Amino acid sequence: ILLFVSVNQILLLLLVLTVCAILYNKVHQVPSVQKNEAVDLESPEEMEEEIPVVICAAAGRMGATVAAISSIYSNTEANVLFYIVGLKTTIPHIRKWIENSKLKEIKFKVVEFNPMVLRGKIRQDASRPELLQPLNFVRFYLPLLTQKHEKVIYLDDDIIVQGDIQELYDTKLAPGHAAAFSDDCDLPSTHEMVRSVGMQNTYMGFLDYRKQAIRDLGISPSTCSFNPGVIVANMTEWKHQRITKQLEKWMQRNVEENLYSSTLGGGVATSPMLIVFHGKYSAINPMWHIRHLGWSPDTRYSEHFLQEAKLLHWNGRYKPWDYPSVHTDLWENWFIPDPSGKFKLTRPDS
């Protein structure tokens, strides 16, 4: 009996030791797994900051959107997430264009913009009706479109990026500033272009100083304006300062009092931004916004200057996908033909 008990005790002891050994091994394997996971999480691919870029896809202009995205994607190694904003009727077209072209590798989200948010906020008396298109006001609603990001880039569709978008994203915003823009007076190389085509680059060109509400702002009419076609925005400050509400307030006041008009400077979306951001924005490197390429079909920049530019903007009437326009070769380098054949370039021989 004693022998039997001893054997049982030995077997029990062996069982306990076996269980302990298994548990020991499992416990001591966990740190190594956690360590590997930590290494993976810290790898550049996993920890790389996402750069959100908001760009619109409007009917009749989708070739512009595609060319802009193509230029950004081709000139950076950064982790870019494109927010492509369209109306319900245009979204299927742009999605198919991307998915059936070499852009199918990009990271993107298609966002539907509801034009009902603009009801009662836009005067219908502009000399350039294209400026009243709903997507022209998408930049007012950035926090609603990109909810999880601290910092966002907004770009007009009529741009080409020749530099690394990471540089633009790294633009420093001063404390308390919700956005960064390029001043219209910031680059001497563009001053002759501005004079030659009679462009306005001051607040006088966008606001009607005959109106008391504008005079009450206390902003000198000779103050240099800025162009909101390229924006680096801080979403925390934007929401904290209720920028969207402020912009909507001035849109509604314009409907009631006609405070600005596209017949003045051409900017029904620019004017409220000039008011709301006056004296409260940071500066974008001027070479990251070379503009006015669409203001005249005749006036050209030097080729050397354009090669140095990081971003080109065909703001104005003369777009590079239409005719006439200038420096179309720089734009066409990035254009990807529409697989559906709906969008076609307008050229002299077409």
pLDDT in tens, 310-329: 999 999 889 999 999 999 99
Q: Give residue 93's Cα distance to chain centre.
A: 20
- In angstroms, the CA 137 to CA 139 distance is 5
First-to-last C-alpha distance (Å) of the chain: 107
pLDDT category of residue 48 using cuts at 50, 70 and 90: low
For residue 300, tell me if it sits in a domain. yes
Burial class (CB in 10 A: 0-12, 13-18, 19+), 99: exposed
| Three-state SS letters, 33-81 | HHHHHHHHHCCHHHHCCEEEEEEECCCCCHHHHHHHHHHHHHCCCCEEE
Stretch 215-242: mean pLDDT, rounded?
Answer: 96
The pLDDT, as a whole number, for residue 194 is 56
Contact between 52 and 83 (Cβ < 8 Å): yes
Read off the amino acid at residue 3: L
Exposure of 123 in the CB half-sphere (CA atoms within 13 A): 22
User: For residue 37, is pLDDT > 60?
Assistant: no
Higher pLDDT, 287 or 124: 287
Q: Give residue 262's Cα distance to chain centre.
A: 23
The pLDDT, as a whole number, for residue 350 is 66
- In angstroms, the CA 213 to CA 77 distance is 47
The pLDDT, as a whole number, for residue 266 is 52
User: For residue 85, is pLDDT > 60?
Assistant: yes
The pLDDT, as a whole number, for residue 299 is 83
Q: What is the DSSP string of 189-252?
A: HHHHHHHHTT---BGGGTS-TTSHHHHTTT--TTSB-EEEEEEEEEHHHHHHTTHHHHHHHHHH
Q: Which domain holds residue 79?
A: 51-189+227-255+268-333
Percentage of the residues of the chain whose pLDDT score is greater than 70: 78
The pLDDT, as a whole number, for residue 45 is 44
pLDDT digits (tens, 9 = 90+) for 149-174: 999 999 999 999 999 999 999 999 99
Residue at token pair 């978008």:
165
| Three-state SS at 328 | helix
pLDDT category of residue 1 using cuts at 50, 70 and 90: very low
For residue 203, tell me if it sits in a domain. no
Cα separations in angstroms, 84 against 24, 54, 147, 334, 347: 53, 6, 14, 17, 27
For residue 16, tell me if it sits in a domain. no
Order the strands of the 79-86 sheet from edge to edge. Answer: 107-112, 79-86, 50-56, 151-155, 226-234, 179-183, 282-283
- In angstroms, the CA 328 to CA 75 distance is 19
User: For residue 185, is pLDDT > 90?
Assistant: no
For residue 121, tell me if it sits in a domain. yes
Which pTM value belongs to this model? Answer: 0.84
User: For residue 13, is pLDDT > 50?
Assistant: yes
Contacts of 65 (CB under 8 A, 6+ apart): 55, 56, 57, 58, 84, 94, 157
- In angstroms, the CA 113 to CA 270 distance is 19
For residue 218, tell me if it sits in a domain. no
> Residue 133: which CATH number?
3.90.550.10
Stretch 247-264: mean pLDDT, rounded?
Answer: 84
- For 69, the token pair is 């995205």
Q: Which of 124-128, 247-251, 255-259, 283-287 has the lowest mean pLDDT?
A: 124-128
Length of the chain: 350
| Three-state SS at 260 | coil
For residue 175, tell me if it sits in a domain. yes
For residue 196, tell me if it sits in a domain. no
Contact between 115 and 134 (Cβ < 8 Å): yes
Mean pLDDT, rounded, of the chain: 85
Q: What is the DSSP string of 80-128?
A: EEEEEEE-TTTHHHHHHHHHTSGGGGSEEEEEE--GGGGTTS--S--SS
Cα separations in angstroms, 258 against 119, 189, 215, 222, 299: 16, 34, 14, 20, 33
Higher pLDDT, 79 or 295: 79
The pLDDT, as a whole number, for residue 110 is 97
Higher pLDDT, 248 or 298: 248
Nearest to 135 by CA among 75, 90, 85: 85
The pLDDT, as a whole number, for residue 31 is 34
pLDDT category of residue 234 using cuts at 50, 70 and 90: very high
For residue 213, tell me if it sits in a domain. no
Read off the amino acid at residue 42: E
pLDDT category of residue 39 using cuts at 50, 70 and 90: very low
The pLDDT, as a whole number, for residue 40 is 35
Domain count, the chain: 1
Query: For residue 71, what are the β-bridge partners?
Result: none
Contact between 240 and 223 (Cβ < 8 Å): no
pLDDT category of residue 332 using cuts at 50, 70 and 90: very high
